[in-house]
Chain A
Amino acid sequence: MKVSFPYMGSAIVYKKLFEFLEHEVVMPPKPTQRTMDLGVKYSPEFACIPLKMVMGTYLEAIEKGAKVLVTSGGHGPCRAGFYGDTHRNILKSLGYDDVELIIFDAPQDNWRAFFRNVQKIRNGVPWHKVINRMYTLYRFVQKLDELEKMVQKIRPYEVNKGQTTQVWNQIHEKFDKVKTRKQLYEVYEECKQMLLSIPTRKVDEKDRIRVGIVGEIYVVMESSINFGIEEILGNLGVEVERSLYLFEWINDNLVPWILRPKRFKEIIKKGQRYIKILIGGHAVETVGHIIDFKERGFDGIVHLMPFACLPELVTQSLIPKISKEIDIPILSLPIDEQTGKANMLTRIEAFIDLLKNRKRGKTREIFIDNIQEDVQEERVVMV
């Protein structure tokens, strides 16, 4: 079976997954403007941007020969749960009758369908091998995330512009070749050394700017849609950390509730200070992470959301209040197919300037003054 999947974040992880299950993998291309155009063209106008991007990705993967597309269904009160069905309808109406879309809904929604899907993608690989390889994959994700966190802390201080990103790309290539757990640990050590040997400037603790990135999962994880915001911030000399990493997402969502790390529950609890019940999407987590970043001494927050995203609009409604009460500047950026990179860059740069001024002890009043103008002319919430 020629298998492909939606592109999101470190897509080599999904590639590994299907390689481990001995499928022939069609690697979907990293989303580009063309992906977006294709997606927009064939999706309902008012669908959210992740749906459109994934649609475009599918079409490109099919062009490359994919016959089976595997995705998760999602549940909870948001539209994500219908992505799969909508995609399937569109593919059918485009005449791709020979392409199969396998949707993994949460097992508790329909156990039987879930296991039927598992059987399909297991591809006859014996269970003991499956379990062993899935454990390797689990560690694979963990190690890759650890390295990514290092990248985010090194990039702002690199001496040679662009070097960290270069190394990060090399790391991906190396990880792509990993087949066993033993190799994984070796490659990991090697990559770590590569990162540590990048020459960096010494920056005083009190001059470091740290920004947390929060929001809806797709726009937070997929750099092609958020204009590579982590790189942009890094190049502006800012350390970043996301609210979401694949490894944590797996722990939070695929590991049974009782075994989940305490941290996830803590974040939810923090979020519930402002949004009392879970309302779908990542709204409560978004708020929880904002509070958590503040408590950990971060200087600012960038909130990413698909334009008109239902749960994130609730978050956005609360941002001025949260920002004021816990005293942290938050830049909220809605993203859709019309969002321009130049425009976004300007806002981010202005935001970082504000953070720097604030850090240097300028008064908060100046900061608020600057922001008022932005609020009036843009649909950006900046507080």
Chain B
Amino acid sequence: MKIAIPHSLLYYYYFPLWDTFFKELGFEVVDTGPTTKDILDKGSKAAVSDICAPIKIFTGHVIEGLKVADYVFVPRFARIKKPEYFCPKFMGLPDIIEGTVEESKGRVISPIINEKNNENISSPKIYEMLTEMFGFSYREIRLAIKRAEEVFERFKKLMHSGLSCDKALDSYRTGRWEEDLRRVKKDGDVTIAVLGYVYDVYDSFISMDVIKKLENLGVNIKTFEMVPQEVAYDNLKHYRKRLFWTFSNRVLGAGLHYLKDPEVDGVIHVTAFGCGPDAIVGRFLQYESDVAGKPFTTLRVDEHTGEGHMITRIEAFVDMLKRKKWAKLSEVL
């Protein structure tokens, strides 16, 4: 049996877990691959026109996946931390797909992820629905998810030690965990915290590979995945009320953490056009950066953003940071 895992949204964070899990159960896992123009176009056509780019892209991946696999995996993320939730579009994701992709009928596997506090989303209960659908025993599910959780823990460790999500994914794919752990080194001229949801930052189509472009400019990158959950939340303590959305809080919390980090010279917020939660997250980040006195810029991208324009902007930003740093250094000397 073939199951497609759309290479989009929380794929970037959870793929090692789901991949291991389904393989352990004997599925053949199909990864729909990086986003292409074709996938985006298909998704945009099927989806409602005003919806954010990430959902359009996800829809495209689902259409693609259904062509090559029997089933497609569309988890319904409701909550992984009390009392927060996910963006309403995540909570209604399988409904959106059923509404817009006709051929998905009866071929969507969508467990409800509704956990009080388990970022690892590895409670067998979540996946119990597979027993009914495919006749696995509960024990089989439990063992498979346990194995998946171990892999995910290693994956997270890699990120916390300084690998960004996409590089950690590479390590997972190649199996070279140990070497990669040793390879975490930093020798760029300036350090930038690139903040944003994994599906914005690592989707080469949405962010136009901003990370790679920055690295080529000699920039060290820090991202929110490198900040352990507890640390991120610790930084949010002084807010009267936390945001409702888990990953928005993590992005904001990590942002606050990096603003205090003397190594970090500037902050870039990567956001997709039409993102509701980011209207708020972005404003907070901007405000806090001003207070901390660190340069801040927003990269708002959508399916029409020109690449040339973006490169000019990040180059200007990096130049400014370098100049600032030199000025400071020469002062000290």
Q: Spell out A's residues near B (CB within 8 Å).
A: 44-48, 76-79, 81-82, 85-86, 274-277, 279-281, 283, 307-311, 313-314, 316-322, 334, 379, 381
Answer yes or no: B188 CB below 8 A from chain A CBs: no
Nearest chain A residue, comparing its CB with the CB of B286? A44
Q: Given A317-B47, A321-B99, A311–B244 Cβ distance below 8 Å?
A: no
Alpha-carbon separation in the docked complex, A319 to B48 (Å): 10
Chain A residues whose CB sits within 8 angstroms of the CB of B280 once the complex forms: 44, 79, 82, 86
Q: A313-B88, A316-B50, A318-B99 are in contact. List 10 more A-B contacts (CB 8 A).
A: A44-B283, A79-B279, A82-B280, A310-B87, A311-B88, A313-B48, A313-B50, A314-B89, A317-B99, A317-B100
| A322 contacts across to B, CB distance below 8 A | 99
Across the A-B interface, the 9 shortest Cβ-Cβ residue pairs: A46-B279, A77-B85, A314-B92, A318-B99, A279-B91, A310-B88, A317-B96, A311-B88, A279-B88
Q: Are A280 and B88 in contact (CB under 8 A)?
A: yes
In the complex, which residues of chain B have a beta carbon less than 8 angstroms from the beta carbon of A48?
Answer: 276
Query: Which of B76, B87, B88, B277 has a CB less than 8 Å from the CB of A276?
Result: B76
Q: How far is the CB of B234 from chain A (nearest CB, A)?
A: 21
- Closest B residue to A79 using CB positions: B276
Residues on A with beta carbons closer than 8 Å to the beta carbon of B50: 307-308, 313, 316, 334, 379
Instruction: Answer whether residue B49 sits at the interface, using C-beta atoms and an 8 A cutoff.
Output: yes
B150 to chain A, nearest CB (A): 30
Q: List 12 A-B contacts (CB under 8 A).
A: A77-B87, A78-B88, A79-B279, A82-B241, A277-B76, A277-B92, A277-B112, A281-B88, A311-B88, A313-B89, A321-B98, A321-B99
B78 within 8 A of A: yes
A138 to B278 CA separation, bound complex (whole angstroms):
38
Cα A308 to Cα B95 with chains together (Å): 17
* Closest CB in chain B relative to A11 CB, distance in Å: 27
Chain A residues whose C-beta falls within 8 Å of the C-beta of B244 in the assembled complex: 76-78, 81, 280
When the two chains form their complex, are residues A276 and B245 in contact, meaning their CB atoms are under 8 A apart?
no
Q: Which residue of B lies closest to A315 (CB)?
A: B92
Residues of A within 8 A of B277 (CB): 79, 310
Interface residues of B in 4-60 (CB under 8 A from A): 47-52
B88 near A77: Cβ-Cβ < 8 Å: yes
- B-side contacts of A381, CB under 8 Å: 48
With a CB–CB cut-off of 8 A, which chain A residues contact B99?
274, 317-322
B87 A314 Cβ-Cβ under 8 A:
no
B279 to A47, Cβ gap below 8 A? yes
- In the bound complex, do residue A77 and residue B276 qualify as a contact, i.e. CB atoms below 8 Å apart? no
Cβ–Cβ < 8 Å partners of B47 in chain A: 317
Q: Which residues of B contact A81 (CB under 8 A)?
A: 241, 244
A residues in contact with B71, CB < 8 Å:
none
Cα distance A155–B266 in the bound complex, in angstroms:
61
Q: What 0/1 readout, one digit per residue, does chain B (232-255) give for beta carbons within 8 Å of chain A?
A: 000000001101110000000000
A85 touching B241 in the complex, CB below 8 Å, given contacts A77-B85, A77-B87, A277-B112:
yes
Task: Please count how many residues in chain B sit with their CB below 8 Å of the partner chain's CB atoms.
Answer: 38
CA distance A283 to B99 in the complex (A): 14
For B196, list chain A residues within 8 Å (CB): none
Partner of A317, one of B91, B95, B283: B95
Interface set of B (CB-CB < 8 Å, partner A): 47-52, 76, 78, 84-89, 91-92, 94-96, 98-100, 112, 114, 240-241, 243-245, 274-280, 282-283
- The CA-CA distance from A48 to B282 in the complex, in Å, is 15
| Chain A residues within an 8 Å CB radius of B278 | 46
A314: chain B residues at CB < 8 Å are: 88-89, 91-92, 95-96
- Counting chain B CB atoms within 10 Å of each CB, the highest count among A45, A46, A277, A319 belongs to A46
Query: Which B residues lie within 8 Å of A277 (CB)?
Result: 76, 78, 91-92, 112, 114
**Closest approach, in angstroms, between the C-beta of B98 and any C-beta of chain A?**
7
| Neighbouring B residues of A86 by C-beta, 8 Å | 280
* B279 pairs with A44, CB closer than 8 A: yes
Alpha-carbon distance A311/B240, docked complex (angstroms): 25
Q: Contacts of B52 on A, CB cut-off 8 Å?
A: 308
Residues of A within 8 A of B100 (CB): 317, 320-321
Distance of B96 from chain A, by nearest CB (Å): 4
Minimum C-beta distance from B301 to chain A (A): 14
Contacts of B94 in A (CB 8 A): 276
Contacts of B275 in A (CB 8 A): 46
Q: Which residues of B contact A280 (CB under 8 A)?
A: 85, 88, 91, 244
Contact of B96 among A46, A79, A318 (CB under 8 A): A318
What residues of A have a CB within 8 angstroms of the CB of B76 in the complex? 276-277
User: What is the bound-complex CA distance between A45 and B278, given in angstroms?
Assistant: 11
> Contact at B48–A316, with CB atoms within 8 Å?
yes
A279 touches B92 (CB 8 A): yes
- B41 to chain A minimum Cβ distance, whole angstroms, is 16
Nearest Cβ on chain B to A290's Cβ, whole angstroms: 13
Which residues of A lie under 8 Å from residue B98 when comparing CB positions? 274, 318, 321
User: Would you give the shortest CB distance from B282 to chain A, in whole angstroms?
Assistant: 8
Q: In the complex, what residues of A have CB within 8 A of residue B240's CB?
A: 85
* Residue in chain B with minimal CB distance to A311: B88
In whole angstroms, how far apart are the Cα atoms of A314 and B245 in the complex? 17
Q: Is the CB of B274 within 8 A of A308?
A: yes
Q: How far is the CA of A331 from the CA of B207 in the complex (A)?
A: 34
Inter-chain contacts of B241 with A (CB < 8 A): 81-82, 85
User: Does the CB pair B48–A276 fall under 8 Å?
Assistant: no
- Residues A275 and B92 in contact in the complex (CB < 8 Å), given A316-B48, A334-B50, A381-B48: yes
Chain A contacts for B112, CB-based, 8 A: 276-277
Q: How far is the CB of B55 from chain A (nearest CB, A)?
A: 8
Residue ID in chain B nearest A284 by CB atoms: B92
Bound CA span A163–B91, Å: 46
Q: In the bound complex, how far is the Cα of B241 from the Cα of A279, in angstroms?
A: 20
On chain A, the residues within 8 Å of B87 by CB distance are: 77, 310
- Which residues of B are found within 8 Å of A311, using beta-carbon distances? 88, 92
In the complex, the chain B residue whose C-beta lies closest to that of A280 is B88
| Across-interface contacts of A78 in B (CB, < 8 A) | 88, 244
Which residues of chain A come closer than 8 Å to B283, judged between CB atoms?
A: 44
A283 vs B159: C-alpha distance in the bound complex, in angstroms? 36
A277 to B78, CA, bound (A): 9
CB pair A283 B51 closer than 8 Å: no
Instruction: State how many angstroms separate the Cβ of A27 from the closest Cβ of chain B.
Output: 30
CB distance from A247 to the nearest CB of B (A): 27
In angstroms, Cα B212 to Cα A257, docked, is: 52
